[in-house]
Structure 1
Amino acid sequence: MTTRYTMRVLAFLLFVVLSRPAFSFDHEHLNFSKILAQDVSVSGAQTLVNYKNLKKNPVQLDEYLKTLSAVKKSEYDSFSSSQQLAFMINAYNAFTIKLMRDHWPVKSIKDLGGLFSSAWKKEFFSLLGQKRHLDWIEHEVIRKDFNEPRIHFAVNCASMGCPPLRQEAFRASAIDHQLEEQAKLFLNDTTKNKYENGEAKLSKIFDWYGSDFTKDGGDLINALNQWREKKFPSNAKITFLNYDWAPNSTEQ
């Protein structure tokens, strides 16, 4: 009787172990938040990355990236929409940091492309079971699958012209608040967007992706004013500022 009972217990425990997923993905992205809190510092309206320290101490970032690459397509498909969006934004930012770190020091991320392709077309990581590039994340997944223009204030291209990299990871539980905060920070940064001499001088981001903000048929000025403290006049002439491709590095 005792032997039979013991066998049943062992069989049940084995079933439980085999039924569990190989790992439970951390949707709080705690390890990435630790990296960002440690190696990203605030400088005015911008944030700067300590790529030198990240290169000296690569393990923590590499371990986090492994957890991203370990997620299978079937598992990703089971995530909620907010979990998927946070996953992809964090993946874009983390792999961009890796690209810069691995080649540091560099004068610009634009210098890291190949002979016939840009840094954003460089397949240097795996995601959802295949080799990927940064443009795949931004254009083939985020912009395609999510009707969310505020992502342009969240994905960071490792340059001074970019929106600031947060000192924490994006999380499904807080992503709407985080995106709203990013939008307000970027639109009220006068080095990126300002009203001067009758002109709304906007970041080049709105030249490249302005249509993402006007899909409902509205105009760009009204779309951006929802995040501005000092509203642009509705009749302001729109011009675009030159984009600063210098690295967002603490070593300025």
Structure 2
Amino acid sequence: MEEMESTPLGRVTVYSILGCPHCVQAKATLGRLGVPVCDVDVGKHPELRARVKELTGRSSVPQIFFNSVHIGGNDDLQKMNPTELERLVHLVMNEPVSSIDAPPLPLESPTEDTSAESDGDFMCERDELASVVEDFKHGSVIGNHRRGLTVHKKSFSGDQLVNWLQKEKGAAAEEAYDTGQALLQKKYMVRCSGKQEDSFGGTLFRLLEDDPSSALNAGQTAACSPVQAAKLSLILRDLILKLFSQHLSADGKFVDYKGMSANPAFDRYCDLAIQLQRVELLSLSREEKLAFFINIYNALVIHGFLRLGAPTNMWQRYKFFNYVSYLIGGEVFTLQDIENGVLRGNRKGIAQLRRPFSRTDPRLQMALPDVEPLIHFALNCGAKGCPPIKTYTPQDIDSQLKTAAEAFLENDDACVVDSGKKEVRLSQIFKWYKADFGGTDEKLLDWVFEHMADSPKKSSLQDVLSAGKTKVSYLPYDWTSNSSH
């Protein structure tokens, strides 16, 4: 009989996602209880998202079931009454999960990790001009050149390049000029002085990898034939998420960034990030642009933490977001450029005096025509429950962003409705970017109401709004870093 009791008959089902600290924390707590945990990754099984939302009324992860009893997210688990918790553990140990109302499991587990597969999809086809660039770097042409009062470091003139191609590569004059134009067009090099219409020979150029901006993916030649932007962003995001998850502490509270930067998989990530230098951006649709820049932003934040440490206050954050950058498609984009310049349709950011891109800035072509307020919930997971999506795809971007907003608003550290005081307390994100949500308290509250999933919180918000004169206040923002060092 005792033998029977020690073999659990039921199960705890946890719907989670890779790289979600709250999911890790919940699973660690359940592990200590000694119950059998069935972990379902809704990132790998998006077909289950709608069903889980139907069962729980929530869009965020984790969602936890003891047999078929839904208890909520990680916060609910941590706050649970010990007697009630003991009763549920007893239930799982002694009763099988009913086949009628059992939480759904994937039909079949994927044979291979999808992120490993997508990484394997990347085959570097060496671009024919990459070898020319490598040889040119080792010639004695690149140096400091003065134009007016400015000294351009690591530069060369069009004439110097053409002469080198004739002398070292045996190219005829016309062929050498065409190769120079191809290097410019394929973004191996960029102008550092002279206007677009100036003669090629007299203009000063710089190899893109020598860009002085200290972009985190500069300093090496992107030697592969350009890869499709959306595909490259998915691979990079999946790679860094996997790395992040491997170095998340057992309680989900800290990330070992030191260990992460020493992991050989991080070198692989950096090699792939170099390929962003020459990626083609101008042909991207709105959906591709959204998915590409959200994925790259989220990956770049982690890359920035690895190189510079995580910011711990407003001033450090301001510096971090204005400094950490990648070279993408021949241009430098800081985190701030991506968020405010591209995804917010070239609007001023916090503490900015002007728009990120001037009228003559070539990056302006990348800006979305209008601000997309939903991006704020895909770029920030500063809440106690994560959206069940970590890597965004162009095919489904709008519904993925709506889900991210729903998941964010479910959290009480992002939105609290106080019916007694007729008050709604919101995350600071709504204060900082109020203009994106309509600009007035009334429009902001309408936006929040419209983007909430059906829930008791939404019903009480409806009651408060219909009573009129709703007060809006803002919750404190948690700046604490999740670094273990």
Fold match by TM threshold 0.5: yes
Q: Which runs of 5+ in 1 are unaligned?
A: 1-16
CA distance in structure 2 between the partners assigned to 1:240 and 1:185 by the alignment: 18
| Cα contact 1:203–1:242 (8 A) shared by 2 | yes
2:379 aligned counterpart, secondary structure: coil
Q: Taking structure 1 as reference, are residues 88 and 107 closer, same or farther at Cα in structure 2, changes over 3 Å only?
A: closer
Q: Taking structure 1 as reference, are residues 216 and 65 closer, same or farther at Cα in structure 2, changes over 3 Å only?
A: farther
Q: Which residue of 1 aligns with 2:291?
A: 86
**Residues 169-191 of structure 1, C-alpha deviation per residue, up to 9 Å, x if partnerless?**
21111211221111011011111
Q: Taking structure 1 as reference, are residues 163 and 50 closer, same or farther at Cα in structure 2, changes over 3 Å only?
A: farther
The equivalent position to 1:54 in structure 2, one of 260, 263, 281, is 260
Q: Which residue of 2 aligns with 1:188?
A: 410
The one-letter code matched in structure 2 to 1:56 is: A
CA distance in structure 1 between the partners assigned to 2:326 and 2:227 by the alignment: 21
**Residues 88-121 of structure 1, C-alpha deviation per residue, up to 9 Å, x if partnerless?**
11121111111111134x46275756xxx62111
The equivalent position to 1:68 in structure 2, one of 263, 272, 276, is 276
CA distance in structure 2 between the partners assigned to 1:91 and 1:183 by the alignment: 19
The equivalent position to 1:151 in structure 2, one of 359, 375, 395, is 375
CA distance in structure 2 between the partners assigned to 1:47 and 1:181 by the alignment: 24
1:245 aligned counterpart, secondary structure: coil
CA distance in structure 1 between the partners assigned to 2:254 and 2:478 by the alignment: 14
Q: Which residue of 1 aligns with 2:225?
A: 22
Q: Which residue of 1 aligns with 2:480?
A: 246
Q: How does 1:96-135 map to 2 (within 5 A)?
A: 96-104=301-309, 106=310, 108=312, 110=314, 112=316, 118-122=319-323, 124-135=325-336
Q: Which residue of 1 aligns with 2:393?
A: 171
| Cα contact 2:344–2:371 (8 A) shared by 1 | yes
Q: Which runs of 5+ in 2 are unaligned?
A: 1-127, 130-223, 346-367
CA distance in structure 1 between the partners assigned to 2:294 and 2:426 by the alignment: 23
Structure 1 residue 48: deviation in Å? 7.0
2:338 aligned counterpart, secondary structure: helix
1:61 aligned counterpart, secondary structure: helix
2:471 corresponds to 1:237: yes
Q: What is the count of residue pairs matched by the alignment?
A: 222
| Cα contact 1:40–1:167 (8 A) shared by 2 | no
2:446 corresponds to 1:222: yes
CA distance in structure 1 between the partners assigned to 2:484 and 2:471 by the alignment: 36
| Cα contact 2:229–2:292 (8 A) shared by 1 | no
Q: Which structure is larger by alpha-carbon Rg, 1 or 2?
A: 2
CA distance in structure 2 between the partners assigned to 1:226 and 1:48 by the alignment: 34
1:243 aligned counterpart, secondary structure: coil
Could you tell me the TM-score, scaled by structure 1's length?
0.73
The equivalent position to 2:425 in structure 1, one of 192, 196, 201, is 201
| Cα contact 2:415–2:427 (8 A) shared by 1 | yes
1:191 aligned counterpart, secondary structure: coil
The one-letter code matched in structure 1 to 2:326 is: F
Could you tell me the TM-score, scaled by structure 2's length?
0.40
| Cα contact 2:298–2:379 (8 A) shared by 1 | yes
The one-letter code matched in structure 2 to 1:141 is: V
CA distance in structure 1 between the partners assigned to 2:401 and 2:271 by the alignment: 26
| Cα contact 1:213–1:220 (8 A) shared by 2 | yes
Q: Which residue of 2 aligns with 1:35?
A: 240
Higher RCO structure (Cα 8 Å, ≥6 apart): 1
